[in-house]
Chain A
Amino acid sequence: MSFLGGAECSTGANPLSQFTKHVSDDKSLQRDRLVGRGPGGLQEGMRSQAMGGGSDGMMNEFMQQPTQLPQPHGPASPFAMEHMRRELERAQHSGSPGWAAEFDPGMEAPAAMGPGMQEQRPQGFSPAEFAKYSAMNPTARSASPVVSSPPSMMAYQRPMMGMGMGGMGMGMGMGMSYSPMMHSPGYQNQTPVHQQDKGKGRMVELDDKDWEEQFAQLEQGDVEAAAKAADALDDEANAAIEAELNDMDRSVDFGDFESVWRGIQAETETARQLAAEDNFLDSMHAGDMDQWEGFDGLNTHTSHDPQMGDYLFEQNNLFNDITNPFDEGMKIMNEGGNLSLAALAFEAAVQKDPNHIAAWVKLGEAQAQNEKETPAIRALEQALKIDPSNLEALMSLAVSYTNEGYESTAYRTLERWVATKYPSLVKEPLSSPAEMGFTDRHLLHEKVTSLFIAAAQLSPSGAQMDPDVQVGLGVLFYGIEEYDKAVDCFGAALASHESGTTNSEQQIHLLWNRLGATLANSGRSEEAIDAYSHALATRPNFVRARYNLGVSCINIGCFSEAAQHLLGALAMHRVVEKEGKERAREVVGDGVSERDLENMIHQNQSTNLYDTLRRVFGQMGRRDLADQVGPYMDVERFRGEFEF
């Protein structure tokens, strides 16, 4: 079956084929509000380049008091944007050796190019537009989604944009992030304009000539003579020792073996106490260590199934004493409450009844939305152990596996999903979880995709297809980086009037986020930001969407906005942790140190959030802030500088 133009997403027509139409109002002002204001943006870019100069840059910023980032002001100007875009473009291609591009396949892509580079990309859409399109002539369809039209943003209201994106500045990102200009490798022969490096390049070795120059500058004349004699010193020293030797009484006793041991034991006594605490902490984190087994920093795995291990519960859960924690958890989720709290509620529920499958499923979903993928996977896998045919768990798990780079496992999970919901379609036996080579994975993908397309074609017309099938297809296309097709599919699910699970009122924010992530990972950052804001409009506590929003802000160079969103996500984690900590303190008493208490609270960390935040602060040239990021950070302390 061929996969052209999005035919697979519907029976006869792709409702989204019409998305090539765009609302024709001018988006330039909106774009600018998004990414930078006025001449301030321009100046900051240039100033930051001057500050970040040469190989001393990092050192200097590390040691100096960071100055307050200047806040942009003044009316939006499209020209500042243009300049920034060009800067980005130029810096992107200047200093790095060509083969450095292989480090990041996306480096050449428009991902970091800022807005306006996506002129040729298909446009966004709104639910209203979906409805309109799906009613239109189903046969009208463009083979290729590429259209020559001016770039535009989505037409609908963005209530979140003003709140979340106010006060954007370009920050230090311009200068700091493109130091290829500062560090041209020898064979590139470039001399960047803003070079502050004093021409010493990367070779930091001093040779004898430099030593002598140093000494020539010293005030004291005798120093030079002494320095030159320095090399002769050791010969003399050795000779002196020999002399000493001959005079010495060599019968000094350094104590018997026992006293030596006593001394060393005494020294390590305190260490042993700490070691005891260490073991405690080790067992807390043992589960997390599993995730590092076989984990590839570049997010591609070998094709075996992940060994995630058992779910690790939070200690001292406030919900343990409540009669019906599951209901509490559902209430919190449906009201868009704090996801950490919801997760705790569901944890209590499964601890009360380990066979409560709905609680396991909701626990997994709460954790995933809370940007804690590993606990999510553990919980969902547990759900499937109890009931292997739970459709919600299968779909959520497929998404989580995809996020973590376990593609084959994701495809197998989707295969199970379609076999469960549409058993009549499945003619062959299900794929086994054997190790898969690259070709096998490709074949598996094709097999599962065919099944989903067959499921999609069960509906007579596009408008009545199962939105959950659409989502599954979207995930499949996303897995092989066919992002445009995936966008079509998620969009179709969003537009659908059929009632599936994935587009239910309780879950539609997830769909918006999925759409956003697909857009983001294909370089369409602005559209992604719009999609995320839709998700956050109904679920302000949707931590993952907020995290994603942060990532997209980084991609368009809005670092302080990115920091705001990431800090916001962390603040939401903290709310629960604070309450939990106070409660834990009551239970545990004063015998436990602050650190231990904190460790108990931080059972399931979100390393992703911390690392991304560190990266953002690094981009902003604020290593002082980056150093503060971690499980023990005081998120509140950042409120002075960032709004969240």
Chain B
Amino acid sequence: MSVSTPIVVVGAGIIGLDVALVLARQGLGRSVTIVAEYLPGDTAVEYTSPWAGCNFSAISGRDANALKWDRACYSHLTKLASENPKESFVVRTPSTEFWDEDVPHDKIKAMSEYLEDFVILPKEELPEGVSFGVSFTTVTINAPKHLQYLQKMLKEQYGVQFVRQKIPNLQSVFEANPAAKIVFNCIGNAARTMPGVQDYKCYPTRGQVILVRAPHVRRNIMRHGKDYETYVIPRPESNGNVILGGYMQKGNGDGATYSHENQSILERTTELSTELRSAEPEILASFAGLRPSREGGARVEREEISIGGGEKRVVVHNYGAGGTGYQAGYGMALEAVQSVEDLLQAIGKSQNGRAKL
């Protein structure tokens, strides 16, 4: 099927959807088509976004980009939480975060400047083995529902089109769709193998989580250990479900779930969360997700490529967010869109700049 819009976003995970949202808010919704193998509502191990917890935390990187994107995205998410929590499935939640060691002080300081209700916990309140702790107001997100919310809003309010299609290589997007001038490459893990990208800095970071029913759990809590990540994330608008996790297994692309890992998760999370301990959670299911990680951090970069016949087109790469897609996605999208601001001017004019007889 041929797409007739000048802008194509490849990938319908949180990254691609956030890009489309930024474009739509600029008035370019009708010039955007999202083309993807999987769409919101689908589940597949190759489609990472539905499997996220998820929440906003200090799990992201310490580099300048991560800090910048996090900050922008926190602003975006808290706004959603204020204006439309029920429909967007983004909700303010009290959060506690612990570090056993290796405390990223500079990053925490940077985050303290914008996190609501930020407080450094006194030493006496820290559990054994924890060397540093903070509490603040985070946002928790019901990942699969948030994706569907975005899709619906993009379609209905902004005129963004969605097409289900598996892309064999990056070049083909332009070849099959002559009207396309800019392609946003938001393919996550596929960036490693997709011809035309083949970014070998990309690797999956496997996580496993358990979905439980535990309506008494209201607080988001995370513990960064020497060789583990443990977290309890209450899931918004889910009838009291909670996500328990987890793992950060770099380079592991296994989509299976393992009972021994579930056991470990249960033990670590009940130790971590007093709320969870207070009543037996009802265990519902176990999921594995593959975070689309990348050495050096996510790639947000404009590239000019040649398609046949001396023609040039523009690709904006926007992948490799690892476990930070939801908490940095909007910030990354802003940057990705900014990188082609000049071209968008022309597109905006041709879409919106005509007088009507």
Give the interface of A toward B (CB within 8 A).
55-59, 62-63, 95-97, 99-101, 103-104, 106-107, 111-112, 177-180, 182-183, 185, 202-208, 210-211, 214, 217-220, 223, 226-227, 230, 233-234, 236-238, 240-241, 244-245, 248-250, 252, 254-255, 259-260, 263-264, 266-267, 269-271, 274, 278, 281, 285, 292, 294-299, 371, 373, 399, 402-403, 475, 478, 513-514, 516-518, 520-521, 528, 544, 547-548, 551-552, 554-555, 595, 607-608, 610-616, 618, 623, 626-627, 629-631
Contacts and interface: CB of A to CB of B under 8 A. Distances in A.
A104 B296 contact: no
A611 B228 contact: no
A427 to B, nearest CB: 29
A99 B309 CA distance: 13
A97 B227 CA distance: 49
Nearest to A632: B157
Nearest to B104: A223
A321 B357 CA distance: 34
Given A252-B263, A517-B356, A58 B152 contact: no
B226 A233 contact: yes
Contacts of A107: 346, 349
A204 B301 contact: yes
Nearest to A514: B357
A611 B30 contact: yes
Given A211-B296, A278-B152, A104 B346 contact: yes
Contacts of B76: 62
Contact of A100 (B25, B65, B343): B343
Contact of B72 (A62, A281, A402): A62
Given A266-B213, A267-B211, 6 more contacts: A59-B331, A179-B342, A226-B101, A254-B285, A267-B241, A616-B27
Nearest to A94: B342
Contacts, number: 282
B335 A551 contact: no
Given A55-B339, A518-B357, A551-B354, A245 B260 contact: yes
A328 B82 CA distance: 43
Contact of A294 (B4, B64, B145, B152): B4
A104 B350 contact: yes
A58 B19 CA distance: 14
Contact of B297 (A202, A205, A219, A259): A205
B105 interface: yes
A178 to B, nearest CB: 8
Contact of A203 (B263, B301, B341, B353): B301
A613 to B, nearest CB: 7
A525 B346 CA distance: 17
A626 B26 contact: yes
A59 B335 contact: yes
Contact of A611 (B237, B345, B351): B351
B337 A241 contact: no
B26 A615 contact: yes
A240 B152 CA distance: 44
A607 B28 CA distance: 11
B25 A298 contact: no
* Complex A-B, nearest 9 residue pairs according to Cβ-Cβ distance, in ascending order: A263-B284, A614-B27, A104-B346, A237-B227, A615-B27, A517-B355, A520-B355, A103-B346, A611-B27
B299 A403 contact: no
Contacts of A59: 68, 72, 331, 334-335, 338
Interface string B274-289: 0000000011111000
Contact of B357 (A180, A249, A403): A403
A554 B349 CA distance: 9
A297 B30 contact: yes
A296 to B, nearest CB: 4
6 contacts: A103-B343, A202-B339, A206-B65, A292-B161, A297-B7, A629-B27
B45 interface: no
Contacts of B159: 292, 607, 611
Given A204-B299, A263-B284, A214 B27 contact: no
B302 interface: yes
Nearest to B356: A403
Contacts of A298: 4, 6, 179, 350-351
A63 B264 contact: no
A134 B356 CA distance: 28
Interface string B59-72: 00011110010011
Given A210-B63, A296-B179, A611 B352 contact: yes
Given A62-B334, A297-B5, A516-B355, A266 B239 contact: yes
Contacts of B152: 278
B216 interface: no
Given A203-B301, A219-B105, A297-B5, A100 B27 contact: no
Contacts of B5: 296-297
B236 to A, nearest CB: 10
A55 B63 contact: no
Contacts of B238: 267, 270
Most A-side CB within 10 Å, residue of B342, B354, B356: B356
B261 interface: yes
Interface in B299-357: 299-302, 304, 311-312, 331, 334-335, 337-339, 341-343, 345-357
Nearest to B102: A226
B213 A205 contact: no
Contacts of B352: 551, 608, 611-612, 615
A284 to B, nearest CB: 9
